[in-house]
Amino acid sequence: MRRGGGGGNGSEGEPEWPWPWPPCDERLCLALPMWVLVPITAVCLGLFVVGVAGNVLTVLVIRSYRDMKTTTNLYLGSMAVSDLLILMGLPFDLYRLWRSRPWIFGQLLCRLSHYLSEGCTYCTILHITALTVERYLAICFPLKAKVVVTKRRVKAIIGVLWAFALLSASPFFFLVGVEQPDNHTDFSRECKPTPQALQSGLLATMFWVTTCYFVLPVTCLSVLYGCIGRELWRSNTRLRGPSSLLREKGHRQTVRILAVVVLAFVICWLPFHIGRIIFINTRDMRTMLFSQYFNIFALQLFYLSASINPVLYNLVSKKYRAAACRLLLPQRAAQRALTGTKDAGGYTETSTRHDYTTSF
pLDDT reported for residue 46: 96
Contact 130, 75 (CB under 8 A): yes
pLDDT reported for residue 236: 61
The model's pLDDT over 58-112, given as tens digits with 9 standing for 90+, comes to 999 999 888 888 888 999 999 999 999 999 999 999 998 888 778 889 899 999 9
Kindly state the average pLDDT of the residues 46-50. Answer: 96
What pTM was estimated for this model as a whole? Answer: 0.80
| pLDDT tier at 16, thresholds 50, 70, 90 | very low
Contact 258, 266 (CB under 8 A): no
Buried/exposed code over 335-345 (b: 16+ C-beta within 10 A; e: otherwise): eeeeeeeeeee
Instruction: Return d(Cα 267, Cα 272) in angstroms, integer.
Output: 10
Instruction: Return d(Cα 168, Cα 87) in angstroms, integer.
Output: 20
pLDDT reported for residue 301: 92
pLDDT reported for residue 78: 95
Instruction: Return d(Cα 139, Cα 233) in angstroms, integer.
Output: 11
The model's pLDDT over 275-324, given as tens digits with 9 standing for 90+, comes to 878 877 777 777 777 888 888 888 899 999 999 988 888 777 788 888 88
Domains of the chain: 34-325 (1.20.1070.10)
Residue 222 has pLDDT above 60, yes or no: yes
Name the residue among 79, 76, 74, 155 with its Cα closest to residue 121: 79
| pLDDT tier at 155, thresholds 50, 70, 90 | very high
Return the ∠ at Cα 260 (arms to 311 and 135), rounded to 5°. 115
pLDDT reported for residue 224: 87
Residue type, 341: T
Q: Which residue has the higher pLDDT, 33 or 45?
A: 45
